[in-house]
Amino acid sequence: MSIQFDSINLGSSMVGPKHGLDPAEVQAAQAKAFDALEGFRASFDQGRYGFPALPSRSAVQRQILACAAAMKGTYDTVCVVGIGGSALGAWALDCGLRGPHPVQAAHSSANPRLVILDNVDPEFMQQALASMNPARTVVVPIAKSGSTAETMATFLVVDEWMKQALGAKKASARTIAVTSEGRGDLKAFATANGLTAFHIPENVGGRFSVLSPVGLVPAALAGLDVKAVCRGAASMTQQSWAADLSTNVALRSALYHYLILSLRKKTIQVAFPYSNRLWGMAFWFRQLWAESLGKANNRKGRTIFAGQTPVAALGATDQHSQVQLYMEGPNDKVFSFWATDRWNTPGAIPKAKANFESFDYLAGQSLGKLIDAERNATAAALTAANRPNCTYSLGRIDAAHLGAFIQMLEFQTAFMGELMDIDAFDQPGVEQGKVFTFGLMKRPGYEAYAEAYKAYEKKRSRN
Amino acid sequence: MSIQFDSINLGSSMVGPKHGLDPAEVQAAQAKAFDALEGFRASFDQGRYGFPALPSRSAVQRQILACAAAMKGTYDTVCVVGIGGSALGAWALDCGLRGPHPVQAAHSSANPRLVILDNVDPEFMQQALASMNPARTVVVPIAKSGSTAETMATFLVVDEWMKQALGAKKASARTIAVTSEGRGDLKAFATANGLTAFHIPENVGGRFSVLSPVGLVPAALAGLDVKAVCRGAASMTQQSWAADLSTNVALRSALYHYLILSLRKKTIQVAFPYSNRLWGMAFWFRQLWAESLGKANNRKGRTIFAGQTPVAALGATDQHSQVQLYMEGPNDKVFSFWATDRWNTPGAIPKAKANFESFDYLAGQSLGKLIDAERNATAAALTAANRPNCTYSLGRIDAAHLGAFIQMLEFQTAFMGELMDIDAFDQPGVEQGKVFTFGLMKRPGYEAYAEAYKAYEKKRSRN
């Protein structure tokens, strides 16, 4: 299991002193990195944050696998009802291990698909229901608070659809709730309806929860190798506590990203996987990075409007969509290539010549070689244009490496929060939109926000 | 057919003078907008750019529809082989009219699916081939130059796979090329193999080509309503030539985006559709905006590193992923909500109360109402945080509106190029990566780039 981080193209010798880091700057900041490690370790030891321990909670993992084993064969679709951190981890794992949707193998009870209802678009919902058979579906509502409006609304629709078709008892037997243990209406609903429930540790937030039941229940039901994912992640946890920048990839990459953001003002990070299987992971990372680091105030209470905007780009595809901007637009980005050292299949290009110059040089080579060449060529071109870039390499794309990469990115984010002196684990900024929504939907107790919204509309009407 | 643009929340009275536009600034810039209209009109009249005329090329559209009608029933999969502008338009139309992939209705010869091979990832390719039946597949290689490395490599693999299964003659009868008329190896290949071919006008570039055969051939083969798409777009062409800011949505929105970028330095535009059907369109737009406006030099040859980084976010989903950053991170963004006035289905939430407070206020309402409330709440919250935002509203999400919206966004981009005084129609920045790739893949004539790449690797090794 190997995750490497190549920072060479972040250096001033490669992209110039205006956009790259001087080795002396990196050297001078090393003490800060070790402080970050210590700071986060102390919080962990106090029990404030639980994600580092998730991969080694083998008892829970066994319960989840036993639950999936008991239901195996009775469903061809796992319908996840969740949004944000309650949806993206399952997608990242599914896409990573079985490929993106349009080309996934046909689903069956031997190969159940995931349908993730992570939006309240009524047309999307209608189509999703039409595509599923209630008698062959397991429903997994996921909400830590147990009161997320989108998730509750979607679950009400899906639950009714199940009950209409199967009756209340059978529907409940096919519904598995993932929520907080001691609180929230989803938990109360689960208890009242006799649902199987798995619990999210209180010290694990949504975007750090993929290796809790939030990600593992859907993954296990879909037949993914949950054990290997956790094994890879556990090994990375160990690696990430080491006070050694040469082996601690999460700490080293956090340091580089911190410096390139704070000293060189690269306010955008392009997560640039060269693999369709890593596309879901890029969207999972987008939440992790945006929601953790986008903070108005630092831990001293000073207003700093911190953060780095994550952008997901897919290589080689987006070379034909975004790279023009990346090469010639504002030099406000750092690029993180995500690569695999080894392809599970080479993708041989036929040997026969077509007698056309644009085809024939490719004959007998492979798609794997081509996509690697595209990535290397793009890194070289960006470097020549003084655009700082770095590369994360996975030994290969399999369950253990995905688990390790997930855990590395979570540690990196936690360290980044320490380096930026912000709280990487809260999300106060989403509150305002939530309460306006509750007001507009007439939730009791939110009348004042309905009034505030009216005042906003009135102000708009004067323009 | 109605496309509206609401710019109120871009104004200083809503988001403050530091981040919003003063009415006097907008007023003062109107003359510039009319200059942009005239400038682009002059270029169009000289025949330099062809996209405005595409929707009214009814003879070509008839040929495409006739071709699709002749093949109807003989295939259940349309396999597009193309990348960037040769892939994103077809995806935008398919997603817009039939929904995103995981929930699309099962494919059949009455409802053929699109499989878009827009990457050279060997695992993706292997899965895609495994998911298709060559005897029920139509292959559509698309490349204006006829020599794009990724497209040629992918086509060689797919063509061999078809020929192995069906023999050369039947494979060729199931292959339709879309390329330039008078040049390129894909055209030569098509001629040598007797393929049906449709042609891309020379004055239409990839990202502006969705309403040429590039988008219309896949759309027609998939059974989408190509005529209605073009009808909507043609009506928008007319609207977009009007020297009237109150009716010319493309010109008005270009003006606002130009001012918010140039005067308020909002270097990121978040395209924020509140509809899963518009998700493909957001990625199509991402190329249009990034590749057109991301330019190192202006038309006077001055180096300006211009551009605005487009980000695709999906509402309400990304409220639980990106909105924390949008609310509290750097105020460097302008938000463009994409809304629909009317849902094709309401998404009723069951009336029965569950006797839990977090559920019961939703009972009897609808998902359509909820997602609209989420969008309005998010706009209000961003506005309260002084984050400039605007809203494009489609009357509804159907073929005519999608066509009109596509054409509006293309005109807006062309006007934006005029306002920024850049060439919105070239892409010189992708050349460097291309020639490095050719060098690495040993294409004859590119030996010097292979050497240049070696020098880069040597420099890296000294770090």
CA distance B235 to B408: 10
- Please write the tens of the pLDDT for every residue from A173-204: 999 999 999 899 999 999 999 999 999 999 99
Count CB-CB contacts under 10 A for residue A454. 12
Q: Specify burial of residue B199 (Cβ count, 10 A radius: 0-12, 13-18, 19+).
A: middle
What tokens were used for B421? 């005084």
Count CB-CB contacts under 10 A for residue B133. 10
pLDDT for A136: 98
CA distance B445 to B450: 10
Q: Is the pLDDT of residue A240 over 90?
A: yes
Q: Is the CB of A373 less than 8 angstroms away from the CB of B440?
A: yes
- Please write the tens of the pLDDT for every residue from B266-291: 999 999 999 999 999 999 999 999 99
Q: Which helix (H) or strand (E) holds B414?
A: helix B399-420
Task: Work out the widest C-alpha separation in chain A, in whole angstroms.
Answer: 74
Q: Of the residues A32, A170, A227, A434, which is catalytic?
A: A434
Beta bridge partners of A354: none
pLDDT for A354: 85
CA distance B83 to B61: 22
Q: What is the dihedral of CA A366, A372, A374, A375, to 10 degrees?
A: 170
DSSP classification of residue B378: H
Q: Is the CB of B123 less than 8 angstroms away from the CB of A344?
A: yes
CA distance A258 to A308: 10
Ordered alpha helix ranges (H), A182-264: 185-193, 213-221, 226-240, 249-262
pLDDT for A101: 87
Q: Which residue of A125, A309, A430 is in closest CB contact with B319? A: A430
Beta bridge partners of B79: B115, B139
Q: Is the pLDDT of residue A427 over 90?
A: yes
CA distance A314 to A325: 14
| Cβ partners under 8 Å of residue A207, min gap 6 | A84, A85, A88, A287, A288, A291, A292, B321
Label residue B410 by pLDDT band (50, 70, 90). Answer: very high
What tokens were used for A96? 């990573």
Q: Of the residues B107, B144, B291, B295, which is catalytic?
A: B291
Nearest CA in chain B to A273: B121
Instruction: Please state the separation of Cα A438 from the chain's center in Å.
Output: 27
Helix/strand/coil for A269: strand
pLDDT for B297: 98
B57 to A160, A328, B46, B284, B301: CA distances (angstroms): 49, 34, 18, 22, 35
CA distance B252 to B232: 19
Give me the phi and psi of A78, to 5 degrees please: -105, 110
Label residue B218 by pLDDT band (50, 70, 90). Answer: very high
| Strand ranges in B134-273 using DSSP code E only, listed in sequence order | 137-143, 176-179, 196-199, 268-273
CA distance B369 to A440: 9
pLDDT for A103: 87
Q: Are A14 and A407 in contact (CB under 8 A)?
A: no
Closest by Cα among A321, A292, A293 to A306: A293
Per CATH, B3-42+230-420 and B51-224 having the same topology is answered yes
Label residue B254 by pLDDT band (50, 70, 90). Answer: very high
CA distance A358 to B145: 10
pLDDT for A416: 98
Q: Are B340 and B393 in contact (CB under 8 A)?
A: yes
Compute the nearest-CA separation of B55 from chain A (Å): 23
The residue whose two tokens read 């060189």 is A264
pLDDT for B103: 87
What tokens were used for B75? 């295939």
User: Angle B299-B303-B308 (CA atoms, 0-180°, nearest 5)?
Assistant: 85
Amino acid (one-letter) located at A309 = T
pLDDT for A16: 98
User: CB-hemisphere CA count at 13 Å for A277?
Assistant: 25
> Is residue B411 within 8 angstroms of chain A, CB to CB?
no
Q: Is the pLDDT of residue B102 over 90?
A: no
Amino acid (one-letter) located at B241 = W
- Please write the tens of the pLDDT for every residue from A368-425: 999 999 999 999 999 999 999 999 999 999 999 999 999 999 999 999 999 999 999 9
Amino acid (one-letter) located at A9 = N
Nearest CA in chain A to B84: A320
CB contacts, 8 Å: B455 with chain A: none
Helix/strand/coil for A192: helix
Amino acid (one-letter) located at B207 = R
CA distance A147 to A189: 11
DSSP classification of residue A217: H
Give the β-pairing of A3-6 and A113-117. unpaired
CA distance A386 to A42: 39
Q: Of the residues A19, A144, A257, A291, which is catalytic?
A: A291
CA distance B252 to B249: 5
A228 to A108, A249, B275, B443: CA distances (angstroms): 23, 20, 36, 41
Q: Which residues of A212-223 are buried (b: 16+ CB within 10 A; e: fewer)?
A: bbbbbbbbbbbe
CATH class of A51-224: alpha beta
Q: Of the residues B18, B320, B351, B459, which is catalytic?
A: B320
Q: Of the residues A18, A300, A320, A458, which is catalytic?
A: A320
Compute the nearest-CA separation of B119 from chain A (Å): 5
Helix/strand/coil for A284: helix
Looking at chain B, how many residues does it have?
A: 463
Q: Is the pLDDT of residue B45 over 90?
A: yes
Substitution target in B103, B147, B152, B344 with the highest count of A β-carbons within 10 Å is B103
A227-246 residues touching B, CB cutoff 8 A? none
Give the β-pairing of B3-6 and B389-394. antiparallel
Reply yes or no: is the peptide bond before residue A316 cis, omega within 30 of 0: yes
Nearest CA in chain A to B324: A429
Label residue B74 by pLDDT band (50, 70, 90). Answer: very high
- Please write the tens of the pLDDT for every residue from A242-254: 999 999 999 999 9
Q: Is the CB of B83 less than 8 angstroms away from the CB of A320?
A: yes
CA distance B153 to B185: 13
Helix axes B249-262, B226-240, angle to 10 degrees: 70
CA distance A422 to A297: 7
Q: Is the CB of A307 less than 8 angstroms away from the CB of B330?
A: yes
Q: Is the pLDDT of residue A102 over 90?
A: no
Q: Name the average pLDDT for chain B.
A: 97
Provide the total of helices (H) and of strands (E) in chain B, helices listed first. 18, 12
- Please write the tens of the pLDDT for every residue from B317-366: 999 999 999 999 999 999 999 999 999 999 999 999 989 999 999 999 99
CA distance A177 to B213: 48
User: Angle A400-A216-B276 (CA atoms, 0-180°, nearest 5)?
Assistant: 105
Compute the nearest-CA separation of B26 from chain A (Å): 13
| Residue ranges covered by each domain of chain A | 3-42+230-420, 51-224, 431-461
Q: Which helix (H) or strand (E) holds A162?
A: helix A149-166
Q: Are A109 and B342 in contact (CB under 8 A)?
A: no
- Please write the tens of the pLDDT for every residue from A198-227: 999 999 999 999 999 999 999 999 999 999
A45-84 residues touching B, CB cutoff 8 A? 83-84
Helix axes A447-461, B367-384, angle to 10 degrees: 70
Architecture of domain B3-42+230-420: 3-Layer(aba) Sandwich (3.40)
- Please write the tens of the pLDDT for every residue from A338-374: 999 999 999 999 999 989 999 999 999 999 999 999 9
A101 to A80, A107, A279: CA distances (angstroms): 15, 11, 11
CB contacts, 8 Å: A122 with chain B: 343, 345-347, 366-368, 371
User: Angle B246-B89-B114 (CA atoms, 0-180°, nearest 5)?
Assistant: 140
CA distance B51 to B207: 10
